[in-house]
Structure 1
Amino acid sequence: MSPNVLFIILLWHETVSWGVKNGVLHNSIWLEQAAGVYHRESRKGKYQLTQREAKLLCNNEGGTLATYNQLKAAQKIGFHVCAAGWLAGGKVGYPIVKPGLNCGFGKTGVIDYGYRVNKSERWDAYCFNPHAKQCGGVLTEPERIITSPDYPNEYEHQQICYWHIRIKYKQRIHLQFIEFDVEDDPSCLSDYLEVYDSYDDLLGFVGRFCGNQLPRDIISTGNVMTLKFLSDSSITAKGFLLVYKAINPPSPASEPETKNTTSR
Protein backbone atom coordinates (compact mmCIF):
# COMPACT_ATOMS: atom_id res chain seq x y z
CA MET A 1 0.00 0.00 0.00
CA SER A 2 1.40 3.38 -0.99
CA PRO A 3 1.98 6.09 1.68
CA ASN A 4 -0.60 8.35 -0.02
CA VAL A 5 -3.30 5.67 0.12
CA LEU A 6 -2.46 4.90 3.74
CA PHE A 7 -2.63 8.62 4.61
CA ILE A 8 -6.08 8.96 2.99
CA ILE A 9 -7.35 5.92 4.92
CA LEU A 10 -6.01 7.35 8.18
CA LEU A 11 -7.58 10.73 7.48
CA TRP A 12 -10.91 9.08 6.58
CA HIS A 13 -10.83 6.95 9.73
CA GLU A 14 -10.14 9.90 12.00
CA THR A 15 -12.79 12.04 10.30
CA VAL A 16 -15.41 9.31 10.66
CA SER A 17 -14.37 8.58 14.25
CA TRP A 18 -14.20 12.13 15.51
CA GLY A 19 -16.30 14.05 13.01
CA VAL A 20 -16.24 17.35 11.19
CA LYS A 21 -18.05 20.17 12.97
CA ASN A 22 -18.94 23.35 11.09
CA GLY A 23 -16.53 22.41 8.35
CA VAL A 24 -13.56 22.00 10.71
CA LEU A 25 -11.96 18.66 11.52
CA HIS A 26 -12.05 18.55 15.32
CA ASN A 27 -8.96 16.51 15.98
CA SER A 28 -6.09 18.88 16.71
CA ILE A 29 -4.19 16.18 18.62
CA TRP A 30 -3.94 13.91 15.58
CA LEU A 31 -3.17 16.82 13.30
CA GLU A 32 -0.32 18.05 15.49
CA GLN A 33 1.23 14.60 15.43
CA ALA A 34 0.71 14.14 11.66
CA ALA A 35 1.98 17.56 10.59
CA GLY A 36 4.53 18.18 13.33
CA VAL A 37 3.23 21.77 13.68
CA TYR A 38 1.69 23.18 16.83
CA HIS A 39 0.65 26.55 18.25
CA ARG A 40 2.20 27.98 21.43
CA GLU A 41 1.57 31.04 23.59
CA SER A 42 3.89 32.87 25.93
CA ARG A 43 3.89 31.98 29.61
CA LYS A 44 2.34 35.44 30.05
CA GLY A 45 -0.60 34.63 27.77
CA LYS A 46 -1.72 35.39 24.23
CA TYR A 47 0.28 37.68 21.91
CA GLN A 48 3.25 38.26 24.20
CA LEU A 49 6.19 36.86 22.18
CA THR A 50 8.77 38.82 20.20
CA GLN A 51 10.36 36.96 17.28
CA ARG A 52 13.40 36.11 19.40
CA GLU A 53 11.25 34.85 22.28
CA ALA A 54 9.12 32.76 19.91
CA LYS A 55 12.24 31.16 18.43
CA LEU A 56 13.62 30.38 21.89
CA LEU A 57 10.31 28.87 23.00
CA CYS A 58 10.28 26.43 20.06
CA ASN A 59 13.98 25.63 20.52
CA ASN A 60 13.46 24.91 24.21
CA GLU A 61 10.90 22.27 23.27
CA GLY A 62 13.28 20.63 20.79
CA GLY A 63 11.78 22.23 17.68
CA THR A 64 12.08 25.30 15.47
CA LEU A 65 9.76 28.01 14.25
CA ALA A 66 7.58 26.50 11.53
CA THR A 67 8.07 27.70 7.98
CA TYR A 68 5.21 29.10 5.93
CA ASN A 69 5.14 25.91 3.83
CA GLN A 70 5.05 23.68 6.92
CA LEU A 71 2.10 25.63 8.31
CA LYS A 72 0.43 25.51 4.90
CA ALA A 73 0.85 21.71 4.75
CA ALA A 74 -0.69 21.41 8.22
CA GLN A 75 -3.62 23.63 7.17
CA LYS A 76 -4.29 21.45 4.13
CA ILE A 77 -4.97 18.44 6.36
CA GLY A 78 -7.20 20.48 8.67
CA PHE A 79 -5.01 22.40 11.15
CA HIS A 80 -7.14 25.37 12.27
CA VAL A 81 -6.08 27.97 14.86
CA CYS A 82 -7.47 31.50 15.04
CA ALA A 83 -4.36 33.14 16.52
CA ALA A 84 -1.52 34.84 14.64
CA GLY A 85 1.98 33.61 15.38
CA TRP A 86 5.59 34.00 14.36
CA LEU A 87 6.94 31.77 11.58
CA ALA A 88 10.49 31.16 10.42
CA GLY A 89 12.13 34.05 8.62
CA GLY A 90 10.16 36.75 10.41
CA LYS A 91 6.71 36.06 8.94
CA VAL A 92 3.47 36.10 10.95
CA GLY A 93 0.29 34.21 10.10
CA TYR A 94 -2.25 31.58 11.15
CA PRO A 95 -4.06 28.60 9.53
CA ILE A 96 -7.78 28.71 8.79
CA VAL A 97 -9.91 25.84 7.49
CA LYS A 98 -13.21 27.69 7.71
CA PRO A 99 -13.45 31.46 8.27
CA GLY A 100 -15.50 32.82 11.14
CA LEU A 101 -16.84 36.25 12.07
CA ASN A 102 -13.56 37.34 13.64
CA CYS A 103 -11.21 34.89 12.03
CA GLY A 104 -9.88 34.58 8.49
CA PHE A 105 -11.30 37.75 6.95
CA GLY A 106 -13.58 35.56 4.83
CA LYS A 107 -10.66 33.48 3.54
CA THR A 108 -9.21 30.04 4.14
CA GLY A 109 -5.62 28.87 4.01
CA VAL A 110 -2.75 30.54 5.81
CA ILE A 111 -3.70 34.11 6.67
CA ASP A 112 -0.38 35.78 5.93
CA TYR A 113 0.58 39.01 7.72
CA GLY A 114 3.81 39.05 5.71
CA TYR A 115 7.36 39.73 6.88
CA ARG A 116 7.42 41.94 9.96
CA VAL A 117 9.99 44.72 9.94
CA ASN A 118 9.65 45.22 13.67
CA LYS A 119 10.80 41.93 15.21
CA SER A 120 9.75 43.24 18.64
CA GLU A 121 6.07 42.98 17.72
CA ARG A 122 4.30 40.53 20.00
CA TRP A 123 2.47 37.51 18.62
CA ASP A 124 2.15 33.80 19.41
CA ALA A 125 4.38 31.13 17.84
CA TYR A 126 3.99 28.20 15.46
CA CYS A 127 6.58 25.52 16.18
CA PHE A 128 7.67 22.56 14.07
CA ASN A 129 8.84 19.39 15.81
CA PRO A 130 8.01 16.12 14.02
CA HIS A 131 10.23 14.13 16.39
CA ALA A 132 8.66 15.08 19.73
CA LYS A 133 8.57 12.18 22.17
CA GLN A 134 5.11 10.67 22.07
CA CYS A 135 3.36 8.72 24.81
CA GLY A 136 -0.16 7.96 25.93
CA GLY A 137 -2.76 6.02 23.95
CA VAL A 138 -6.44 5.15 23.58
CA LEU A 139 -7.84 3.56 26.77
CA THR A 140 -11.12 1.65 26.78
CA GLU A 141 -10.89 -0.41 30.00
CA PRO A 142 -13.50 0.34 32.71
CA GLU A 143 -10.67 1.04 35.19
CA ARG A 144 -7.06 2.00 34.58
CA ILE A 145 -4.04 3.60 36.25
CA ILE A 146 -2.31 6.38 34.28
CA THR A 147 1.16 7.65 35.14
CA SER A 148 3.54 10.20 33.68
CA PRO A 149 6.42 8.71 31.64
CA ASP A 150 9.02 6.83 33.76
CA TYR A 151 6.99 7.27 36.97
CA PRO A 152 7.97 7.01 39.86
CA ASN A 153 11.23 8.34 38.40
CA GLU A 154 11.29 11.88 37.02
CA TYR A 155 9.74 12.35 33.59
CA GLU A 156 11.99 13.43 30.72
CA HIS A 157 12.24 16.76 28.91
CA GLN A 158 10.21 17.50 25.78
CA GLN A 159 7.41 15.01 26.35
CA ILE A 160 4.02 15.29 24.64
CA CYS A 161 1.49 12.71 25.87
CA TYR A 162 -2.19 12.27 24.97
CA TRP A 163 -4.45 9.75 26.68
CA HIS A 164 -7.90 9.33 25.11
CA ILE A 165 -10.31 7.57 27.46
CA ARG A 166 -13.42 6.04 25.91
CA ILE A 167 -15.74 3.82 27.95
CA LYS A 168 -19.24 2.43 27.38
CA TYR A 169 -21.94 4.76 26.15
CA LYS A 170 -23.94 6.43 28.97
CA GLN A 171 -21.23 5.76 31.53
CA ARG A 172 -19.07 8.49 32.97
CA ILE A 173 -15.41 8.72 33.92
CA HIS A 174 -14.34 9.35 37.52
CA LEU A 175 -10.77 10.70 37.53
CA GLN A 176 -8.92 10.54 40.85
CA PHE A 177 -5.39 11.86 41.45
CA ILE A 178 -3.25 9.77 43.80
CA GLU A 179 0.11 11.57 43.49
CA PHE A 180 1.00 14.77 41.67
CA ASP A 181 4.36 16.55 41.29
CA VAL A 182 4.87 18.61 38.11
CA GLU A 183 7.20 21.59 37.66
CA ASP A 184 5.67 24.57 39.47
CA ASP A 185 5.05 27.65 37.35
CA PRO A 186 2.71 30.60 38.13
CA SER A 187 0.80 30.16 34.85
CA CYS A 188 1.32 26.40 34.36
CA LEU A 189 2.96 26.98 30.97
CA SER A 190 6.25 25.11 31.48
CA ASP A 191 5.19 21.54 32.33
CA TYR A 192 1.52 20.74 32.84
CA LEU A 193 -1.29 18.22 32.67
CA GLU A 194 -4.53 19.31 30.98
CA VAL A 195 -7.89 17.58 31.31
CA TYR A 196 -10.62 17.84 28.64
CA ASP A 197 -14.19 16.62 28.97
CA SER A 198 -14.17 15.47 25.33
CA TYR A 199 -12.28 13.23 22.89
CA ASP A 200 -9.94 15.99 21.72
CA ASP A 201 -8.22 19.08 23.11
CA LEU A 202 -10.47 21.63 21.40
CA LEU A 203 -13.62 21.38 23.50
CA GLY A 204 -14.55 20.71 27.11
CA PHE A 205 -11.53 22.23 28.84
CA VAL A 206 -11.66 21.32 32.54
CA GLY A 207 -8.30 22.44 33.90
CA ARG A 208 -4.52 22.78 33.58
CA PHE A 209 -2.53 21.48 36.54
CA CYS A 210 1.07 21.88 37.75
CA GLY A 211 2.96 22.13 41.04
CA ASN A 212 2.53 19.57 43.84
CA GLN A 213 -1.01 20.28 44.99
CA LEU A 214 -3.25 17.26 44.46
CA PRO A 215 -6.04 18.18 41.98
CA ARG A 216 -9.61 17.46 42.97
CA ASP A 217 -11.55 14.50 41.58
CA ILE A 218 -13.12 15.08 38.17
CA ILE A 219 -16.23 13.41 36.74
CA SER A 220 -16.87 13.62 33.00
CA THR A 221 -20.22 14.65 31.55
CA GLY A 222 -20.07 11.86 28.95
CA ASN A 223 -18.18 8.67 28.18
CA VAL A 224 -15.00 10.26 26.78
CA MET A 225 -12.13 12.27 28.24
CA THR A 226 -8.69 13.48 27.08
CA LEU A 227 -5.55 14.06 29.14
CA LYS A 228 -2.62 16.01 27.70
CA PHE A 229 0.80 16.13 29.38
CA LEU A 230 3.58 18.41 28.15
CA SER A 231 7.10 19.06 29.45
CA ASP A 232 9.62 21.60 28.16
CA SER A 233 13.42 21.41 28.28
CA SER A 234 14.08 23.09 31.64
CA ILE A 235 13.02 21.46 34.92
CA THR A 236 11.49 18.03 35.51
CA ALA A 237 9.77 16.45 38.53
CA LYS A 238 8.44 13.11 39.76
CA GLY A 239 5.23 13.36 37.75
CA PHE A 240 1.82 11.95 38.57
CA LEU A 241 -0.22 8.85 39.23
CA LEU A 242 -3.97 8.85 38.76
CA VAL A 243 -6.73 6.32 38.29
CA TYR A 244 -9.96 6.50 36.31
CA LYS A 245 -13.05 4.35 36.82
CA ALA A 246 -16.21 3.96 34.77
CA ILE A 247 -19.26 4.90 36.85
CA ASN A 248 -22.97 5.29 36.30
CA PRO A 249 -24.18 8.89 35.90
CA PRO A 250 -24.66 10.62 39.28
CA SER A 251 -28.02 12.06 40.22
CA PRO A 252 -28.45 15.76 39.31
CA ALA A 253 -28.37 16.75 42.98
CA SER A 254 -24.96 15.14 43.56
CA GLU A 255 -23.32 16.08 40.25
CA PRO A 256 -20.24 18.35 40.77
CA GLU A 257 -19.74 21.51 38.75
CA THR A 258 -17.17 21.37 35.92
CA LYS A 259 -15.36 24.68 35.71
CA ASN A 260 -12.50 25.94 33.58
CA THR A 261 -9.49 26.36 35.83
CA THR A 262 -5.74 26.65 35.99
CA SER A 263 -4.27 24.99 39.06
CA ARG A 264 -0.86 24.91 40.68
Structure 2
Amino acid sequence: MIALLFFSALLWDEAGAWGFKDGVLHNSIWLERAAGVYHREARSGKYRLTFAEAKAVCEYEGGHLATYQQLEAARKIGFHVCAAGWMAKGRVGYPIVKAGANCGFGKTGIVDYGIRLNRSERWDAYCYNPNGKECGGVFTDSRHVFKSPGYPGEYENEQVCYWHIRVRFGQRIQLHFLEFDVEEDPACLADFLEVYDSYDDVSGFVGRFCGDELPDDIISTGNLSAL
Protein backbone atom coordinates (compact mmCIF):
# COMPACT_ATOMS: atom_id res chain seq x y z
CA MET A 1 0.00 0.00 0.00
CA ILE A 2 1.43 3.36 -1.00
CA ALA A 3 0.47 7.01 -1.20
CA LEU A 4 2.14 9.91 -3.00
CA LEU A 5 0.78 13.44 -3.14
CA PHE A 6 2.04 16.92 -3.95
CA PHE A 7 1.08 20.24 -2.44
CA SER A 8 1.80 23.77 -3.55
CA ALA A 9 1.15 27.14 -1.95
CA LEU A 10 -0.90 29.37 -4.18
CA LEU A 11 0.11 33.01 -4.71
CA TRP A 12 3.62 32.56 -3.30
CA ASP A 13 6.78 33.66 -5.08
CA GLU A 14 9.44 31.23 -3.85
CA ALA A 15 12.48 32.81 -2.20
CA GLY A 16 15.95 32.32 -3.62
CA ALA A 17 18.83 30.29 -2.24
CA TRP A 18 21.20 31.45 0.46
CA GLY A 19 24.31 29.76 -0.97
CA PHE A 20 27.09 27.90 0.83
CA LYS A 21 28.13 28.21 4.46
CA ASP A 22 30.67 25.98 6.21
CA GLY A 23 30.67 23.69 3.18
CA VAL A 24 26.92 23.05 3.42
CA LEU A 25 24.40 24.26 0.85
CA HIS A 26 21.54 26.04 2.61
CA ASN A 27 18.43 27.31 0.89
CA SER A 28 15.22 29.06 1.82
CA ILE A 29 13.27 25.83 2.33
CA TRP A 30 13.27 24.91 6.00
CA LEU A 31 14.53 21.39 6.65
CA GLU A 32 12.11 19.62 9.00
CA ARG A 33 14.33 16.62 9.66
CA ALA A 34 18.12 16.34 9.94
CA ALA A 35 20.59 14.08 11.79
CA GLY A 36 17.70 12.14 13.33
CA VAL A 37 16.09 15.29 14.79
CA TYR A 38 12.64 16.44 13.74
CA HIS A 39 10.09 19.05 14.77
CA ARG A 40 6.62 18.15 16.01
CA GLU A 41 3.52 20.22 16.76
CA ALA A 42 0.45 19.05 18.62
CA ARG A 43 -2.35 17.66 16.49
CA SER A 44 -4.30 20.82 17.38
CA GLY A 45 -1.60 23.24 16.21
CA LYS A 46 1.43 25.25 17.29
CA TYR A 47 2.52 25.65 20.93
CA ARG A 48 0.05 23.22 22.48
CA LEU A 49 2.32 20.60 24.15
CA THR A 50 3.29 20.41 27.81
CA PHE A 51 6.61 18.75 28.63
CA ALA A 52 4.90 15.44 29.44
CA GLU A 53 2.87 15.57 26.21
CA ALA A 54 5.94 16.42 24.11
CA LYS A 55 7.83 13.51 25.67
CA ALA A 56 4.89 11.19 24.94
CA VAL A 57 4.70 12.31 21.29
CA CYS A 58 8.35 11.44 20.68
CA GLU A 59 8.18 8.13 22.55
CA TYR A 60 5.00 7.10 20.72
CA GLU A 61 6.97 7.35 17.46
CA GLY A 62 9.85 5.27 18.83
CA GLY A 63 12.17 8.14 19.74
CA HIS A 64 12.73 10.58 22.58
CA LEU A 65 13.10 14.31 23.12
CA ALA A 66 16.28 15.57 21.48
CA THR A 67 19.13 16.81 23.65
CA TYR A 68 20.63 20.27 23.17
CA GLN A 69 23.68 18.62 21.56
CA GLN A 70 21.54 16.62 19.11
CA LEU A 71 19.60 19.73 18.09
CA GLU A 72 22.85 21.64 17.56
CA ALA A 73 24.28 18.80 15.43
CA ALA A 74 21.17 18.96 13.24
CA ARG A 75 21.39 22.74 13.02
CA LYS A 76 24.96 22.53 11.75
CA ILE A 77 23.78 20.61 8.67
CA GLY A 78 20.91 22.97 7.88
CA PHE A 79 18.07 22.28 10.36
CA HIS A 80 16.31 25.64 10.73
CA VAL A 81 12.92 25.99 12.43
CA CYS A 82 11.52 29.23 13.79
CA ALA A 83 9.45 27.61 16.54
CA ALA A 84 10.40 26.94 20.16
CA GLY A 85 10.10 23.36 21.33
CA TRP A 86 10.77 21.10 24.28
CA MET A 87 14.06 19.24 24.45
CA ALA A 88 15.34 16.65 26.91
CA LYS A 89 15.48 17.58 30.62
CA GLY A 90 12.76 20.21 30.20
CA ARG A 91 14.82 22.58 28.09
CA VAL A 92 13.18 24.79 25.44
CA GLY A 93 14.71 26.37 22.36
CA TYR A 94 14.92 26.30 18.56
CA PRO A 95 17.64 26.07 15.86
CA ILE A 96 18.55 29.03 13.66
CA VAL A 97 20.81 28.65 10.61
CA LYS A 98 20.12 31.95 8.86
CA ALA A 99 19.97 35.10 10.97
CA GLY A 100 16.81 37.16 10.59
CA ALA A 101 15.16 40.09 12.32
CA ASN A 102 11.90 38.19 12.83
CA CYS A 103 13.36 34.98 14.19
CA GLY A 104 16.31 34.28 16.46
CA PHE A 105 16.93 37.90 17.45
CA GLY A 106 19.27 38.34 14.48
CA LYS A 107 21.63 35.57 15.64
CA THR A 108 22.45 32.02 14.57
CA GLY A 109 22.74 28.98 16.81
CA ILE A 110 20.30 27.45 19.28
CA VAL A 111 17.98 30.09 20.72
CA ASP A 112 17.94 28.71 24.24
CA TYR A 113 15.14 29.47 26.70
CA GLY A 114 16.85 27.26 29.28
CA ILE A 115 15.38 24.59 31.54
CA ARG A 116 11.80 25.50 32.36
CA LEU A 117 10.62 25.24 35.94
CA ASN A 118 7.00 25.16 34.81
CA ARG A 119 6.62 21.91 32.85
CA SER A 120 3.00 22.86 32.05
CA GLU A 121 4.13 25.60 29.66
CA ARG A 122 3.06 24.83 26.11
CA TRP A 123 5.55 24.63 23.26
CA ASP A 124 6.29 22.36 20.29
CA ALA A 125 8.65 19.37 20.51
CA TYR A 126 12.04 18.39 19.06
CA CYS A 127 12.28 14.62 18.82
CA TYR A 128 15.26 12.39 18.09
CA ASN A 129 15.04 9.03 16.36
CA PRO A 130 17.94 8.21 14.00
CA ASN A 131 16.22 5.00 12.88
CA GLY A 132 12.80 6.54 12.30
CA LYS A 133 11.30 6.66 8.83
CA GLU A 134 10.02 9.91 7.37
CA CYS A 135 6.48 10.05 8.66
CA GLY A 136 4.77 13.34 9.33
CA GLY A 137 6.08 16.77 10.21
CA VAL A 138 5.37 20.48 9.91
CA PHE A 139 5.87 22.04 6.49
CA THR A 140 6.10 25.72 5.59
CA ASP A 141 7.76 25.49 2.18
CA SER A 142 5.92 26.46 -0.99
CA ARG A 143 6.01 22.99 -2.56
CA HIS A 144 6.44 19.52 -1.18
CA VAL A 145 5.86 15.90 -2.19
CA PHE A 146 4.50 13.69 0.61
CA LYS A 147 5.30 9.98 0.45
CA SER A 148 4.04 7.17 2.62
CA PRO A 149 6.88 5.59 4.69
CA GLY A 150 8.86 3.13 2.58
CA TYR A 151 7.55 4.47 -0.75
CA PRO A 152 7.59 3.07 -3.44
CA GLY A 153 7.32 -0.06 -1.30
CA GLU A 154 4.53 -0.77 1.16
CA TYR A 155 4.30 1.01 4.50
CA GLU A 156 4.43 -0.95 7.74
CA ASN A 157 1.42 -1.88 9.86
CA GLU A 158 0.00 0.37 12.58
CA GLN A 159 1.76 3.55 11.47
CA VAL A 160 0.24 6.94 12.27
CA CYS A 161 1.59 9.99 10.43
CA TYR A 162 0.50 13.62 10.87
CA TRP A 163 1.52 16.25 8.33
CA HIS A 164 0.79 19.88 9.17
CA ILE A 165 1.01 22.42 6.34
CA ARG A 166 1.22 26.11 7.11
CA VAL A 167 1.85 28.80 4.48
CA ARG A 168 1.73 32.57 4.67
CA PHE A 169 -1.45 34.34 5.69
CA GLY A 170 -3.55 35.11 2.62
CA GLN A 171 -2.29 32.08 0.70
CA ARG A 172 -4.10 28.81 0.09
CA ILE A 173 -2.91 25.22 -0.27
CA GLN A 174 -3.54 22.94 -3.24
CA LEU A 175 -3.25 19.17 -2.75
CA HIS A 176 -2.71 17.12 -5.91
CA PHE A 177 -2.59 13.31 -5.70
CA LEU A 178 0.04 11.65 -7.89
CA GLU A 179 -0.41 8.04 -6.76
CA PHE A 180 -2.76 6.47 -4.24
CA ASP A 181 -3.22 2.82 -3.23
CA VAL A 182 -4.43 2.31 0.34
CA GLU A 183 -6.24 -0.75 1.68
CA GLU A 184 -9.83 -0.69 0.44
CA ASP A 185 -12.61 -0.84 2.99
CA PRO A 186 -16.27 0.21 2.45
CA ALA A 187 -16.16 2.58 5.43
CA CYS A 188 -12.41 3.38 5.27
CA LEU A 189 -11.96 2.06 8.81
CA ALA A 190 -8.75 0.12 8.14
CA ASP A 191 -6.03 2.17 6.39
CA PHE A 192 -6.98 5.68 5.31
CA LEU A 193 -5.89 9.25 4.68
CA GLU A 194 -7.83 12.09 6.30
CA VAL A 195 -7.60 15.69 5.08
CA TYR A 196 -8.45 18.74 7.20
CA ASP A 197 -8.93 22.31 6.05
CA SER A 198 -7.45 23.58 9.33
CA TYR A 199 -6.01 22.12 12.53
CA ASP A 200 -9.55 21.63 13.87
CA ASP A 201 -10.55 17.95 13.93
CA VAL A 202 -14.27 18.72 13.71
CA SER A 203 -15.07 21.85 11.72
CA GLY A 204 -12.03 21.46 9.47
CA PHE A 205 -12.75 17.91 8.29
CA VAL A 206 -12.65 17.59 4.47
CA GLY A 207 -12.75 13.86 3.88
CA ARG A 208 -11.38 10.36 4.46
CA PHE A 209 -9.87 8.45 1.54
CA CYS A 210 -8.90 4.82 0.92
CA GLY A 211 -8.73 2.37 -1.98
CA ASP A 212 -6.80 2.98 -5.20
CA GLU A 213 -8.85 5.73 -6.85
CA LEU A 214 -7.05 9.07 -7.06
CA PRO A 215 -8.90 11.74 -5.04
CA ASP A 216 -9.67 15.02 -6.78
CA ASP A 217 -7.49 18.05 -6.11
CA ILE A 218 -8.23 19.79 -2.81
CA ILE A 219 -7.80 23.54 -2.29
CA SER A 220 -7.87 24.91 1.24
CA THR A 221 -9.99 27.88 2.29
CA GLY A 222 -7.15 29.33 4.38
CA ASN A 223 -3.41 28.99 4.98
CA LEU A 224 -3.56 25.82 7.13
CA SER A 225 -4.11 22.18 6.32
CA ALA A 226 -3.49 18.86 8.04
CA LEU A 227 -3.21 15.28 6.77
TM-score (norm 2): 0.57
Alpha carbons 2:99, 2:107 under 8 Å: kept: yes
Counterpart of 1:52?
52
Q: For residue 225 of structure 2, what is the amino acid of its counterpart?
A: T
Alpha carbons 1:85, 1:92 under 8 Å: kept: yes
Counterpart of 1:25?
27
What is the distance in 1 between the residues matched to 2:152 and 2:76? 37
Counterpart of 2:192?
182
Counterpart of 1:89?
89
Structure 2: which 5+ residue stretches go unaligned? 1-15, 136-146, 162-175, 183-190, 200-204
Between 20-29 and 52-61, report the one with greater CA deviation: 20-29
Q: For residue 208 of structure 2, what is the amino acid of its counterpart?
A: N
Between 178-187 and 123-132, report the one with greater CA deviation: 178-187
Counterpart of 1:212?
208
Q: SS of the counterpart of 1:121?
A: coil
- Does 2:225 align with 1:262? yes
Alignment of 1:39-118 (within 5 A): 39-118=39-118
Q: SS of the counterpart of 1:130?
A: coil
Q: For residue 131 of structure 1, what is the amino acid of its counterpart?
A: N
Give the structure with higher Rg (CA): 1
Q: Deviations over 1:165-220 (max 9, x none)?
A: xxxxxxxxx7456666525586888xxxxxxxxxxxxxxxxxxx98524xxxxxxx
Structure 1 residues 239 and 116, CA, compared in 2 at 3 Å: closer, same or farther? farther
What is the distance in 1 between the residues matched to 2:123 and 2:82? 12
Q: SS of the counterpart of 2:225?
A: strand
Q: For residue 126 of structure 1, what is the amino acid of its counterpart?
A: Y
| RMSD between aligned residues | 4.5
Q: Deviations over 1:12-54 (max 9, x none)?
A: xxxxxx953698434555x72x411111101111101000000
Q: Deviations over 1:41-70 (max 9, x none)?
A: 011111010000000011111110000000
Q: SS of the counterpart of 1:133?
A: coil
Counterpart of 2:157?
156
What is the distance in 1 between the residues matched to 2:43 and 2:192? 16
What is the distance in 2 between the residues matched to 1:185 and 1:259? 14
What is the distance in 2 between the residues matched to 1:86 and 1:56? 12
Q: SS of the counterpart of 2:75?
A: helix
Q: SS of the counterpart of 1:212?
A: strand
Q: For residue 119 of structure 2, what is the amino acid of its counterpart?
A: K
Counterpart of 1:133?
133
Q: SS of the counterpart of 2:208?
A: coil
Q: Percent identity?
A: 50
Alpha carbons 1:148, 1:239 under 8 Å: kept: no
- Does 2:115 align with 1:119? no
**Of Structure 1 and Structure 2, which has the larger fraction of its residues in helix?**
1
What is the distance in 2 between the residues matched to 1:81 and 1:60? 22
Q: For residue 98 of structure 2, what is the amino acid of its counterpart?
A: K
Structure 1 residues 106 and 21, CA, compared in 2 at 3 Å: closer, same or farther? same
Structure 1 residues 156 and 188, CA, compared in 2 at 3 Å: closer, same or farther? farther
Q: Deviations over 1:213-242 (max 9, x none)?
A: 4xxxxxxxxxxxxxxxxxxxxxxxx67665
Counterpart of 1:163?
none
TM-score (norm 1): 0.50
Alpha carbons 1:188, 1:210 under 8 Å: kept: no
Aligned length: 171
